[in-house]
């Protein structure tokens, strides 16, 4: 059975690679003569593709089949496919830049959607597993954006994406090297459980909560970084990468800073951070202050991280076996809708 740290590495690296384009959205939009709509489409296409993959995993028969596959083989295959899909991003230059970038975002979105619910289900079998999932998914996105933005100071875009592909291959090799002592029940599930067993209604509420949390985080990984970067004289890619990084790292670390048994305290802190963060971020944008914008973003990210972790915890604690894979796929699918719908609506909202 794969240890939790190998699972965490797979989740972090895949999540990090998913945010590599965040530092380049504004640049790509400029290159192809587009604006915020171009950025929104490139970003939302990834989330939409992940939704499709998660919807497939939520099918009872598919969830049961996946539960029977040795976990290290499944994850190795998905990480390898993610790296191959990343080659589309490496090639995204010239006249076909937008088309290749869009194809790359769709293909890597499918890979991420096929990986995250399965890893989250496996991590749920460990103490503090949901918090580790939240940190891996959200923190990984933040780390990936920061790495991409920093590399962009010295390297061209294809080289940056190439390094991301190599990281995925390394993660696949790391997972494949795990001992495979358990093959019949690699996810710690009862594969004999009825494939069509009902998912608790609380999962619907958890999915809605994940939608709200990711709706906020989606804006900070797509359109808002370019808005913040416009107020700075520094490298656009670097500032955009830093903006995503501080917000998403704060989101990933949020639940780890509060004991797992202090759920009510976490929710109160999240509400306070949400209100204060909205005010500070708004003031920062109004005053063209990068520092205030980043501080506000960190507070908002902290609140969203707690909300997302709460959603995962609710789903994982009410289900077992293949039903857990389906429940977590449903919650994360709700989160992916949050990454798509608000981002697509934002350009039209600001035009009014």
Segment of 23-32, 113-122, 167-176, 182-191 carrying the highest mean pLDDT: 167-176
Comparing C-alpha atoms, which of 125, 13, 124, 158 is closest to residue 76? 13
C-alpha–C-alpha distance, residues 113 and 337, integer Å? 12
The CATH number linked to 105 is 1.20.1250.20
Whether the pLDDT of residue 329 is over 90: the answer is: no
pLDDT value of position 194: 47
Of residues 260 and 330, the one with the higher pLDDT is 330
Rounded to the nearest angstrom, the gap between the alpha carbon of residue 133 and the centroid of all alpha carbons in its chain is: 10
Whether the pLDDT of residue 339 is over 90: the answer is: no
pLDDT value of position 86: 95
What average pLDDT does range 127-135 have in this prediction?
A: 79
pLDDT band at 109 (very low <50, low <70, confident <90, very high): very high
Least trusted range by pLDDT, from 50-54, 119-123, 132-136, 198-202:
198-202
What average pLDDT does range 328-343 have in this prediction?
A: 84
Cβ atoms of 54 and 117 closer than 8 Å: yes
Cβ atoms of 339 and 248 closer than 8 Å: no
Cβ atoms of 302 and 258 closer than 8 Å: no
pLDDT value of position 93: 79
For 210-248, give one letter per residue: b (16+ CB within 10 A) or e. bbbbbbbbbbbbbbbbbbbbeebeebbbbbbbbbbbbbb
Number of domains in the chain: 1
Summarised one tens digit per residue, pLDDT across range 254-283 is: 867 776 556 678 888 889 999 999 999 989
Whether the pLDDT of residue 105 is over 50: the answer is: yes
pLDDT value of position 345: 86
pLDDT band at 192 (very low <50, low <70, confident <90, very high): very low
pLDDT band at 351 (very low <50, low <70, confident <90, very high): low
- Taking the model in full, what pTM does it have? 0.76
Summarised one tens digit per residue, pLDDT across range 217-249 is: 888 878 788 788 777 766 778 888 888 888 988
Summarised one tens digit per residue, pLDDT across range 68-98 is: 889 999 999 999 999 999 999 999 877 788 8
How much of the chain exceeds pLDDT 90, in percent? 33
Concatenate the DSSP letters of all residues of 143-184 into one string. HHHHHHHHHTTTS-HHHHHHHHHHHHHHHHHHHHTS-----S
C-alpha–C-alpha distance, residues 59 and 67, integer Å? 12
C-alpha–C-alpha distance, residues 255 and 269, integer Å? 11
C-alpha–C-alpha distance, residues 146 and 87, integer Å? 20
What average pLDDT does range 175-186 have in this prediction?
A: 60
Of residues 75 and 29, the one with the higher pLDDT is 75
Cβ atoms of 295 and 157 closer than 8 Å: no
Cβ atoms of 227 and 118 closer than 8 Å: no
C-alpha–C-alpha distance, residues 192 and 70, integer Å? 16
Rounded to the nearest angstrom, the gap between the alpha carbon of residue 106 and the centroid of all alpha carbons in its chain is: 14
The contacts of residue 29 (CB under 8 Å, 6+ apart) are 35, 36, 38, 39, 226
pLDDT value of position 330: 83
What average pLDDT does range 55-80 have in this prediction?
A: 89
pLDDT value of position 302: 92
pLDDT value of position 300: 94
pLDDT band at 47 (very low <50, low <70, confident <90, very high): confident
- The parent domain of residue 242 ranges over 4-350
How confident is the prediction for the chain on average, in pLDDT? 84
pLDDT value of position 115: 95
pLDDT value of position 197: 54
Distances (CA, A) of 245 to 75, 105, 120, 280, 290: 25, 19, 22, 18, 14
What average pLDDT does range 208-222 have in this prediction?
A: 87
The angle, 0 to 180 degrees and rounded to 10, between the axes of the packed helices 236-254 and 290-317 is 40
The angle, 0 to 180 degrees and rounded to 10, between the axes of the packed helices 97-123 and 290-317 is 50
Of residues 183 and 20, the one with the higher pLDDT is 20
The alpha carbon dihedral of 261, 263, 265, 270 has a sign of positive
pLDDT value of position 1: 60
Whether the pLDDT of residue 151 is over 90: the answer is: yes
Q: Which residue spans within 49-178 are E strands per DSSP?
A: none
pLDDT band at 14 (very low <50, low <70, confident <90, very high): very high
Contacts of range 204-209, beta carbons closer than 8 Å, 24 or more positions apart: 204/330, 205/314, 206/310, 206/311, 206/312, 206/314, 206/315, 206/327, 206/331, 206/334, 207/311, 207/315, 207/330, 207/331, 207/333, 207/334, 207/335, 208/334, 209/307, 209/308, 209/310, 209/311, 209/314, 209/334
């Amino acid at each position: 059975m794969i240890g939790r740290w190998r699972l965490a590495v797979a989740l972090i690296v895949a999540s990090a690679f998913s945010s590599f384009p965040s530092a380049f959205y504004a640049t790509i939009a400029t290159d192809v003569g587009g604006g915020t709509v171009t950025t929104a489409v490139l970003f939302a296409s990834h989330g939409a593709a992940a939704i499709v993959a998660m919807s497939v995993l939520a099918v009872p028969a598919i969830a049961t089949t996946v539960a029977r596959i040795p976990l290290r083989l499944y994850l190795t295959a998905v990480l390898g496919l993610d790296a191959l899909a990343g080659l589309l991003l490496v090639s995204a230059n010239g006249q076909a830049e937008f088309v290749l970038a869009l194809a790359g975002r769709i293909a890597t979105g499918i890979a991420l959607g096929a990986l995250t619910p399965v890893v989250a289900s496996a991590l749920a079998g460990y103490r503090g597993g949901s918090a580790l999932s939240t940190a891996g998914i959200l923190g990984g996105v933040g780390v990936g954006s920061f790495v991409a933005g920093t590399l962009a100071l010295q390297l061209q875009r294809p080289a940056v994406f190439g390094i991301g592909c190599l990281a995925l291959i390394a993660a696949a090799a790391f997972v494949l090297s795990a001992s495979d002592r358990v093959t019949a029940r690699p996810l710690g599930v009862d594969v004999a459980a009825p494939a069509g067993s009902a998912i608790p209604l609380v999962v619907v509420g958890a999915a809605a909560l994940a939608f709200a949390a990711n709706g906020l985080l989606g804006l900070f990984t797509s359109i808002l970084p370019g808005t913040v970067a416009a107020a700075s004289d520094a490298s656009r890619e670097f500032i955009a990468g830093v903006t995503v990084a501080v917000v998403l790292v704060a989101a990933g670390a949020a639940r780890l800073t509060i004991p797992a048994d202090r759920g009510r305290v976490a929710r109160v802190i999240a509400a306070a951070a949400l209100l204060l963060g909205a005010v500070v971020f708004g003031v920062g944008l109004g005053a063209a202050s990068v520092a205030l914008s980043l501080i506000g973003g960190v507070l908002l990210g902290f609140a969203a991280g707690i909300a997302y972790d709460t959603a995962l915890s609710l789903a994982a604690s009410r289900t077992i076996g293949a039903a857990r894979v389906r429940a977590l796929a449903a919650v994360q699918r709700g989160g992916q809708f949050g990454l798509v719908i608000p981002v697509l609506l934002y350009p039209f909202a600001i035009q009014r």
